[in-house]
Homo-oligomer: A and B are copies of this chain.
């Protein structure tokens, strides 16, 4: 995950303008449906989508892929999307936000996706208007394929109810993709914890740091969801969302709190792992130093003793020069001294529980 993900225009430039370089690949899919029928158009063009605008049916246009200036401008014009919103949609990496107006509700959400290279974050933008939903998903992964399938079933509640229920279903799907990602983080924390108690090399340190960093960034990016759903639930300026759908949104709101609290908890766990790492390293250093100290204090003093009797003071010069060397029990005496020293040290270590 990148620390800085936001695309932005040069400060001072005109608001609501899509940068000329936005020439991305994208696909449009269109669903026009009511309780009795459902038209599906994959790979539609912006013009085709516009023709369904005035139908009495519910219409859902989904745009998957990188922002493209021409398509976005056309869609904005046809569907009456404000230029500031379409700028937000085209500059990926936005903070999640909600803007409720009488005739239009605009939301940006962050979708965490588990890929092979780790967790990546995709920007989802949703517009709810009368009879119409337009959704944008920057990136490759389309989180809404299950919704597509449910739409085709005539018995599905998506078909029987108004478009606000589809809008809820899209939000709910984005929020719910947080659960598998968080489950994976829980597994990583558990695995690191186990590994840590056996080992403590630089790889684990890097793993912990990366984990902490990812959870921190994830938290920042999904933090606003809760407040946004709360705003949506309490809103009374728009009548686009029926009161019965609000019960479902409340359930979705609970999920967003649940996800946020899990992220908070994992963040604190990751902090705890760093502290645990430090403790394990300190403990290991203690072990190493104790071994060194035991060996050194056992052998350095007797080494000094044997050094004494390796000196070459000449007995011929006088009787005070190393008389021990000429005692018949000198060698045994030295061993006695050394064994006494070593046993003393061992008792000292025993007493201090070093061995």
Contacts and interface: CB of A to CB of B under 8 A. Distances in A.
B326 A314 contact: yes
Contacts of A352: 287
Given A291-B293, A317-B326, A325-B312, A283 B283 contact: no
Given A317-B328, A326-B317, A331-B322, A173 B220 contact: no
A321 B333 CA distance: 10
B301 A295 contact: yes
Nearest to A268: B216
A265 B312 CA distance: 69
Nearest to A307: B306
A112 to B, nearest CB: 11
B322 A213 contact: no
Listed residue (A11, A279, A286, A291) with the most chain B CB atoms within 10 angstroms of its CB: A11
B279 A281 contact: yes
Contacts of A99: 250
Nearest to A330: B313
Given A306-B311, A328-B321, A329-B320, A288 B293 contact: yes
A288 B288 contact: no
Listed residue (A6, A88, A247, A279) with the most chain B CB atoms within 10 angstroms of its CB: A279
A55 B321 CA distance: 108
Interface string A135-169: 00000000111110010000011000000000001
A325 B354 contact: no
Given A11-B179, A309-B312, A278 B282 contact: yes
B176 A12 contact: yes
Contacts of A312: 309-312, 322, 325
Main secondary structure of the interface of A (DSSP, over half): helix
Interface residues of A, number: 128
A169 B279 CA distance: 46
A311 B299 contact: no
Given A146-B11, A297-B292, A325-B313, A190 B3 contact: yes
Contact of A295 (B278, B296, B328, B354): B296
Contact of A313 (B216, B251, B290, B309): B309
A6 B272 CA distance: 22
A171 B13 CA distance: 12
Interface in A163-188: 169, 172-173, 176-177, 179-180, 182-183, 186-187
Given A247-B84, A289-B289, A186 B4 contact: yes
A309 B309 contact: no
A95 B261 contact: yes
Contacts of A257: 95
Interface of A: 2-4, 6, 8-15, 82, 84, 88, 94-95, 97, 99, 143-147, 150, 156-157, 169, 172-173, 176-177, 179-180, 182-183, 186-187, 189-190, 193, 197, 199-202, 205-206, 209, 212-213, 216-217, 220, 223, 247-248, 250-251, 254, 257-258, 261-262, 264-266, 268-269, 272, 274-293, 295-304, 306-314, 316-318, 320-322, 324-332, 334, 352-354
Given A12-B144, A12-B176, A307-B310, 20 more contacts: A2-B186, A3-B189, A4-B182, A4-B186, A15-B169, A84-B247, A99-B250, A217-B265, A278-B282, A291-B297, A293-B295, A296-B297, A299-B304, A302-B307, A306-B310, A309-B311, A309-B312, A313-B330, A314-B330, A321-B330
